[in-house]
């Protein structure tokens, strides 16, 4: 059983009808409608961005399992699978309760079947938290939770989509300890909770990207920083402005040749300053791809599109 922070296998869902999701826009302040584009133009742009991104990952010897989305039921956000599922090196799979009703339809048992029958991966047991939806409680996978896998720590910004009760249940069932805090962003002059932790931080094997300024409570901010430092992570801070360009929405991934990459969107990459880029490149190469349409309409970026697969081989 490996206990690594990064994997060389990703699962990604190729969209069939990507579009602006009204149901998620109520508390995802990153979503923006794009005027003047037809549904087919949006889908065409999203597919181009998706395919180019996958191609770039594969060029770096990263194993990408692409699953085709289905037209029915309608799942406009299926391109972001990291919210409904997580795969672990002990053969466990987590299925998560989703805030938006149309996102609940993304949980597809046939995908788990495919990973076993076609990819030769072993699933020992599936831990399904989706019953919490009936109570109006949500925990959206590795969008809500930033996992430090070797240290069994989970960083979680509490919000409507990241509920403390479900988080505690996850910790109990997967053997993690939670570091909880509130992360905010300014919307129309008000400080409102950030909907997903993975837009403001990323934990890699030797470093962490952190928008510390979004943690308004100084005691909570100190706790997060101390926890990261205690586990040997060098912190690379990003500003709230950079966070708006998805500079927190990154993921460290390995090539099968052992090389390590920090994967992000072109917008996130462009928002970084020279010194931040230098600090990241001390640890790994940056791999970025243009995701402008997906970011604007989906309100999610590179990290959200990649579900890390740590499952053992059957």
Taking 80 as the threshold, does the pLDDT of residue 34 lie above it? Answer: no
**Residue 5: CB partners within 8 Å, gap ≥ 6?**
148, 149, 150, 203, 204, 205, 252
**Tens of pLDDT, residues 219-265:** 999 999 999 999 999 999 999 999 999 999 999 999 999 999 999 99
pLDDT tens, 155-194? 999 999 999 999 999 999 999 999 999 999 988 899 999 9
pLDDT the model gives residue 36? 67
Residues with Cβ within 8 Å of 13's Cβ and at least 6 positions away in sequence, in order, are 66, 67, 68, 69, 78, 79, 81, 106
SS3 content of the chain, % helix, strand, coil (to 5): 35, 25, 40
> Whole-prediction pTM value?
0.94
Domain 9-308 in CATH 3.40.50.300? The answer is no
Cα dihedral sign, 288-294-295-300: negative
Is the pLDDT at 198 greater than 70? The verdict is yes
For the chain, domain boundaries: 9-308
What pLDDT band is residue 266 in, cutting at 50, 70 and 90? very high
Q: Are 283 and 259 in contact (CB under 8 A)?
A: no
- Predicted local distance difference test score (pLDDT) of residue 30: 46
Residue 31 has pLDDT above 70, yes or no: no
Quote the CA–CA distance of 86 and 221 in Å, as a whole number. Answer: 26
Look at residue 29 and tell me whether its pLDDT is greater than 50: no
pLDDT confidence of residue 300? 86
Burial 29-46 (b: 16+ CB within 10 A, else e): bbbeeeeebeeeebbebb
| Distance, CA of 176 to CA of 92 (rounded, Å) | 14
Cβ contacts of 83 within 8 Å, gap of 6 or more: 77, 96, 98, 103, 106, 140, 141, 142, 143, 144, 196, 304
Q: What pLDDT shows up at residue 283? A: 97
The upper half-sphere exposure of residue 198, i.e. CA atoms within 13 Å in the direction of its Cβ, equals: 30
% of the chain beyond a pLDDT of 90:
82
C-alpha 247, offset from chain centre:
12
């Amino acid at each position: 059983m490996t206990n690594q922070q990064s994997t060389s296998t990703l699962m990604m869902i190729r969209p069939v009808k990507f579009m602006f999701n009204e149901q998620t826009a109520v508390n995802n302040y990153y979503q923006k409608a794009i005027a003047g584009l037809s549904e087919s133009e949006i889908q065409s742009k999203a597919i181009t961005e998706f395919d180019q991104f996958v191609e770039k990952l594969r060029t770096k010897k990263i194993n990408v399992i692409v699953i085709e989305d289905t037209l029915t039921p309608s799942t406009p956000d299926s391109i972001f699978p990291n919210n409904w599922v997580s795969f672990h090196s002990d053969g466990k799979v987590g299925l998560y309760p989703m805030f938006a009703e149309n996102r609940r339809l993304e949980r597809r048992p046939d995908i788990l079947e495919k990973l076993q029958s076609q990819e030769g991966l072993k699933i020992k047991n599936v831990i399904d938290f989706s019953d919490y939806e009936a109570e109006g409680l949500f925990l959206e996978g590795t969008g809500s939770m930033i996992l430090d896998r070797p240290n069994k720590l989970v960083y979680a910004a509490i919000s409507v989509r990241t509920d403390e009760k479900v988080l505690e249940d996850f910790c109990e069932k997967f053997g993690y300890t939670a570091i909880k805090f509130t992360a905010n962003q300014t919307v129309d002059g008000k400080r409102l909770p950030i909907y997903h932790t993975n837009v403001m931080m990323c934990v890699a094997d030797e470093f962490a990207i952190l928008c510390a300024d979004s943690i308004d409570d100084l005691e909570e901010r100190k706790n997060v920083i101390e926890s990261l430092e205690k586990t040997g992570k060098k912190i690379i801070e990003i500003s709230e402005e950079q966070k708006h360009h998805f500079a927190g929405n990154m993921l460290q991934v390995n090539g099968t040749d052992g090389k390590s990459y920090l994967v992000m969107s072109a917008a996130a990459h462009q928002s970084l300053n020279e010194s931040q880029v230098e600090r990241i490149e001390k640890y790994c190469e940056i791999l970025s791809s243009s995701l402008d349409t997906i970011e604007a309409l989906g309100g999610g970026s590179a990290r959200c599109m990649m579900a890390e697969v740590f499952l053992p081989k059957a």
